[in-house]
């Protein structure tokens, strides 16, 4: 009878130790996963912010170029009509090739 109780006790002691060990491993793995997800979200947010700033900067540059082209077209039209023009940028100089 004593042997039977020691075998049952051995089973439950081993089972309890394994459950405690694996629950500790699970908690550590879950914590590492949460940290990894938080870091990934932070990187995605940073990347999205940088992309937004880059696109805004490029959009401003394109709009500026478009406005410059429109202004140049208006200036050429006004010069053809001999109307004095107030330019914000110096006129483009063309060089004749001989």
Q: What is the pLDDT of residues 2-29, one digit of tens each?
A: 667 777 788 889 999 999 999 999 999 9
Instruction: Say if CB 87 and CB 75 are below 8 A apart.
Output: yes
- State how far the Cα of 24 lies from the Cα of 31, in Å rounded to an integer: 11
Instruction: Say if CB 68 and CB 89 are below 8 A apart.
Output: yes
pLDDT the model gives residue 28: 97
Q: What is the pLDDT of residues 42-92, one digit of tens each?
A: 988 888 888 777 766 666 555 555 666 666 767 777 766 654 555 565 555
Strands annotated E in 3-97: none
pTM: 0.45
pLDDT the model gives residue 38: 93
């Amino acid at each position: 009878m004593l042997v039977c109780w020691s075998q049952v006790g051995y089973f439950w002691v081993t089972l309890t130790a394994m459950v405690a060990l694996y629950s500790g491993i699970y908690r550590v793995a879950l914590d590492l996963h949460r940290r990894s997800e938080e870091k990934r979200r932070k990187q995605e947010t940073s990347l999205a912010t940088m992309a937004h700033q880059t696109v805004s900067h490029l959009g401003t540059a394109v709009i500026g170029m478009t406005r410059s082209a429109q202004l140049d077209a208006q200036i050429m039209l006004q010069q053809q009509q001999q109307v004095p023009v107030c330019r914000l940028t110096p006129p483009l100089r063309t060089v004749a090739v001989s």
